[in-house]
Amino acid sequence: MPDKRFFFNKGPFKVKEIFRILNKDLPNNLDGNFILDDVASLEDASKNDICFFSGSNKNIIPSQHSYGLSITSPEMMKTMLGCGSNVSVKNPLLAFSMVASMFYPKCSYLGNINKYVNSFIDETSVISPNAIIHPGVFIGANAKIENNVIIGSNSVIGNGVTIKEDSVIGPNSTIQFSDIGKNVIIDSGCRIGQEGFGFVFDENTKKHIRVPQLGIVKIDDDVTVGANCTIDRGFLTNTSIGEGCRIDNQVQIGHNVKLGKRCIIIAQVGISGSCVIGDDVILAGQVGVADHVTIDSNAKVAAKSGVMKNVKSGEAVMGYPAKKIRSFWREIAFISKSSKKH
């Protein structure tokens, strides 16, 4: 059950409201006005809590627990009968996530606070009266902060930055040279829009000369960026993050990168400059992508792989350098077999 010190419950809700959000008809044998106070795991649930049970944990016996309403799968309904009230859905975790978001809207852990306390807000910036600005925030000239935006403590919003409605910027983040879409979550400690890593070597002076980075970062709607990520602005074109992407903690995205829609980028991935990533691509943990590589839509890259050349649509690759998974395992089998001969 969520710890009330950190999470703010927007409930309670009635059973009929839960069924409505799940787009399910309320059975005649259920009291639609029954009050559900909170969400909880099946093990911790009380008679006024809502939980979910997918059957993945074989050690849990539903009959040993009490709950107000359980979200479960059609396959598990027989197991749940007699244990409490239940609603059957195709994807219990997805449905439970929707319900949990009713009780605990995104980033409700930031809470509400008096606006502009110990903050510097440039007089030319435009800030919605519905925005929440936490203490110690800096907002530069001509920035635009739209409705219901939340900006966490000690964050810096640079000159000209736009943050569209319902977006959240976590504490201690820096957003500059950027346009942020609607319903975007950027977690704590992120650096968005800083200068990309661009230098050219001057043979005459024997020095690395800085290449001006004159693009920006554009993050489309409904993107999540985890804690301590860095996304560099472009050289002459923009760095862009497509709608619906999910980026885990500690990811580095270089200048000019084009990330398609709904990509999943797992922790500690590094994407070098000028890469083009298609839609629905998955890069697993600690993947490295060399510069100017194209990874087409629906491709998958296994953890700790090094992508040195283009990956075609739908391919699954792994290893260093990355190659098709089937080829990788054939090589491993060959090496293993050869070593046994010696």
pLDDT, tens digit, 9 for 90 and up, residues 139-149: 999 999 999 99
* pLDDT, average across residues 90-106: 88
Separation between Cα atoms, residue 247 and residue 255, nearest integer Å: 16
* pLDDT, average across residues 101-109: 74
Helix (H) or strand (E) holding 109: none
Question: For the chain, what is the largest distance between any 2 Cα atoms, rounded to a whole number of angstroms?
Answer: 85
For the chain, the domain total comes to: 1
Q: Is residue 67 part of a domain?
A: yes
28-32, 74-78, 196-200: which is most confident: 196-200
330 pLDDT band, cuts 50/70/90, is confident
3-state helix, strand, coil in the chain (%, to 5): 15, 25, 60
Q: Is residue 53 part of a domain?
A: yes
Grouping H, G, I as helix, E, B as strand and the rest as coil, residue 47 is coil
Grouping H, G, I as helix, E, B as strand and the rest as coil, residue 254 is coil
Which pLDDT score, from 0 to 100, does residue 3 have?
77
Which pLDDT score, from 0 to 100, does residue 326 have?
82
Separation between Cα atoms, residue 248 and residue 245, nearest integer Å: 10
Domain of 68: which CATH number? 3.40.1390.10
Q: Is residue 267 part of a domain?
A: no
Q: Is residue 244 part of a domain?
A: no
Alpha-carbon torsion (318, 322, 326, 329), positive or negative? negative
Residue with tokens 């990509």: 263
Helix (H) or strand (E) holding 340: helix 325-341
Whether the CB-CB separation of 37 and 59 falls below 8 Å is answered with no
- Catalytic-residue membership of 255: yes
Kindly calculate the radius of gyration of the chain based on its CA atoms and give it in whole angstroms: 24
Q: Is residue 54 part of a domain?
A: yes
Q: What is the DSSP letter of 76?
A: G
Alpha-carbon torsion (194, 198, 202, 206), positive or negative? positive
Q: Which of 142, 131, 195, 196 is nearest to 169 (CA)?
A: 131
Which pLDDT score, from 0 to 100, does residue 82 have?
64
Whether the CB-CB separation of 189 and 206 falls below 8 Å is answered with no
State pLDDT tens for residues 280-308: 999 999 999 999 999 999 999 999 999 99
Separation between Cα atoms, residue 250 and residue 271, nearest integer Å: 12
Q: Is residue 83 part of a domain?
A: yes
Q: Is residue 45 part of a domain?
A: yes
Task: Name the residue range of residue 23's domain.
Answer: 13-105
Residue type, 101: S
Q: Is residue 55 part of a domain?
A: yes
Separation between Cα atoms, residue 329 and residue 337, nearest integer Å: 12
Instruction: Tell me the DSSP string of 217-229.
Output: EEE-SS-EE-TT-
* pLDDT, average across residues 82-96: 84
Strand partners, 162: 144, 179
Active-site pick, 134, 255, 292, 342: 255
23-32, 102-111, 173-182: which is most confident: 173-182
Whether the CB-CB separation of 192 and 174 falls below 8 Å is answered with yes
